[in-house]
Structure 1
């Protein structure tokens, strides 16, 4: 019986990315002891037939917290903003859960080991969106040269979600936590904290981003015990491009000591004009190699 599970979600449009994520997981022999489960937010029957040959379970994602229909507007993939906070309800037969967004893929199994280790004893395993090379952490509009109007991601979402000014201020300059990759044990109190906060953020705020704000509240307001993992465990390429090691044929961090990227995450897209690499697999960008060459590369798995 497999004790650990990796879970993701996709609709029909993001199926190619989901399929690549699964292939990246299964490219490691260690994956044989880890279950893969999928939440279906609008996959076609043909797509599910392909997935059934590769994964352990597929369940239909639901609105685990009631959301007004006008907010949904037919975008079933928005269920990912709710259902990921209820993973033990969907797949109850596992002890540790690792969520990976479908627009991410596994480049180094050590990152998977770290996430499953990080969530022991009820802790949340997650990565803050900050690290060497990040030049802007929060946007601020300066008024009269001295007065600042805060535009940080946490603060903006907190104000819109009406969680209270005192709580919004606690989040204003807290390092943002990306919820695209995280781990929790089945019996962790983190699930209840997250669900409680998610109910609050969904009442007034947008669906998209609500789950991220809720987990930031759990960490920075509820003081959920958290194991913060290094940036290469959830490398958001739109924030900072990686480098490529031509000798080892792998993506690495752009600064010394050039650690290997564990999980490559294409959140927010990698753009060439109006073309997003997540949608158009032919999109390539110029990145530097460790061998000081400029090379044209896709950041998608296997390309």
Structure 2
């Protein structure tokens, strides 16, 4: 029995991305000791048949927390915002659970090892959207000279999701935890607290982003243990990536140009890449050159 598992979710529209994620995991020999499980949020029978030959198990995602139909509007893939908080329920008997969004792929197994190592001793292992290469992490609305109104993702989402002003302020200036990749042990206390906060978020706010603000509140307000990993473990600022010709891999833009662990096409800025696997991106190299390349995973 494999102790650790990597889990993702997709509908039929994200199948190609999901399949690339699975292939990017399996290309590493180390993956032979790690299970891969899939939550189905609208895959076709043919798609599930293809995946079943590559992964350990596929199960249908559910609305683990009741959500009004007017919020769902037929978007069954939004189950990803709920079901990821219930992973041990879907796939029991594993020790460590690593979630990776379907629009991501694994470039270095080191990141996988860090996620699993980081969640030991019942901690959440996760990275943030704050990094030296990412630039602005807060917005300020300036008025009356030197006075400004600070705007943060955590504060905005906490308020719109029905959390108190006190909680919203407590999490407002904290680095935003990116739930697109995270790891937890089966017995970690985070699951129950996260689910509780998620119920609050889903009751008052939108489904999209609910699981992320719920986890940020779980860590920063409920003060559960966390191991914050480097941004290269879950890299989302795709336009800032660089390519190392000598090592033939994608790296951070600044020294020491560490190899990117997970390439994550999150956000509207990456729509073109997500929608077209043959999209050509202009990528700077560490030696000052610029090349054109496809950034979607290709095992060839």
Which bin holds the TM-score, normalised by the shorter protein? over 0.9
Cα-to-partner distance string for 1:232-263 (whole Å, 9 max, x where unaligned): 1111134x521001122110000000000011
Summarize the alignment of residues 1-303 of structure 1 with structure 2, pairs less than 5 Å apart. 1-238=1-238, 241-271=240-270, 276-302=272-298
Alpha-carbon distance in 2 for matches of 1:163, 1:283 = 40
Alpha-carbon distance in 1 for matches of 2:77, 2:108 = 27
Greater mean deviation of Cα atoms: 59-68 or 291-300: 291-300
Secondary structure in structure 1 of the residue aligned to 2:102: coil
Deviation of 1:270 after TM superposition, in Å, equals: 4.3
Cα-to-partner distance string for 1:203-230 (whole Å, 9 max, x where unaligned): 1111000000000001100111001111
Any gaps of 5 or more consecutive residues in structure 1?
none
Alpha-carbon distance in 1 for matches of 2:82, 2:171 = 21
Alpha-carbon distance in 1 for matches of 2:29, 2:164 = 48
Q: How many residues align?
A: 299
Alpha-carbon distance in 1 for matches of 2:229, 2:265 = 18
Any gaps of 5 or more consecutive residues in structure 2?
none
**Conservation of the 8 A alpha-carbon contact between 2:133 and 2:240:** no
TM-score (norm 1): 0.96
Greater mean deviation of Cα atoms: 221-230 or 144-153: 144-153
After the TM superposition, which parts of structure 1 deviate over 6 Å for at least 4 consecutive aligned residues? none
**Conservation of the 8 A alpha-carbon contact between 1:99 and 1:183:** yes
Deviation of 1:173 after TM superposition, in Å, equals: 1.1
**Conservation of the 8 A alpha-carbon contact between 1:171 and 1:220:** yes
Alpha-carbon distance in 2 for matches of 1:72, 1:266 = 23
Cα-to-partner distance string for 1:92-148 (whole Å, 9 max, x where unaligned): 021100000001110110111111111111100000111122321111212223443
**Conservation of the 8 A alpha-carbon contact between 1:235 and 1:262:** yes
TM-score (norm 2): 0.97
**Conservation of the 8 A alpha-carbon contact between 1:150 and 1:172:** no
User: Could you say what the CA RMSD is over the residues aligned between the two structures, in angstroms?
Assistant: 1.2
Deviation of 1:296 after TM superposition, in Å, equals: 1.1
**Conservation of the 8 A alpha-carbon contact between 1:140 and 1:151:** yes
Alpha-carbon distance in 1 for matches of 2:196, 2:207 = 15
